[in-house]
């Protein structure tokens, strides 16, 4: 029972480079989410997806792109990384029954550093 996984767990990149963070869940959950966690701000929603091919912006979407061609995968791409995107990124999923109000299950996080 793999649950929800993220890769890589740690990433160091340079300003201007493209970076893709991967998220994979094995529960066939309908809903998937990307959050970032920063000191002083707590967790904030970047993007979410209600189903394959359906995505929507959260609180802090600028500089990020998402896609969801398959239910189990929800990659997050930083098209041109900036230092302000240094953060810990968490993926989450919910909704065995398709309800967004269900418990959210979090991945282990990806610590991204942009130099």
Partner 1 sequence: KNEVEQSPQNLTAQEGEFITINCSYSVGISALHWLQQHPGGGIVSLFMLSSGKKKHGRLIATINIQEKHSSLHITASHPRDSAVYICAVRQGGGADGLTFGKGTHLIIQP
Nearest distance, CB of residue 74 and partner 1, angstroms: 13
Minimum Å gap between C-beta 13 and partner 1 is 20
d(CA 46, CA 27): 22
Report the residue number, 8 or 108, with the smaller CB distance to partner 1: 108
Q: Which residues contact 28 (CB under 8 A, 6 or more apart)?
A: 71, 72, 96
Closest separation in Å from C-beta 52 to partner 1: 15
CB-based contact 94:29 (threshold 8 Å): yes
Binding site for partner 1 (CB under 8 A): 31, 33, 35, 40-45, 48, 50, 56, 58-59, 88, 90, 92, 100-106, 108-109
3-state secondary structure at position 101: coil
């Amino acid at each position: 029972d793999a649950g929800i996984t993220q890769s890589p767990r740690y990433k160091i990149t340079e300003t201007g480079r493209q970076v893709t963070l991967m998220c994979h869940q094995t529960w066939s959950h309908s809903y998937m989410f990307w959050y970032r966690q920063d000191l002083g701000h707590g967790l904030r929603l970047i993007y979410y997806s209600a189903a394959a091919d359906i995505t929507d912006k959260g609180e802090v979407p600028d500089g990020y792109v998402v896609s969801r061609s398959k239910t189990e995968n929800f990659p997050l791409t930083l098209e041109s990384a900036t230092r302000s995107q240094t953060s810990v990124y968490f993926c989450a999923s919910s909704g065995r029954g398709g309800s967004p109000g269900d418990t959210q299950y979090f991945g282990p996080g990806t610590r991204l550093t942009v130099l």
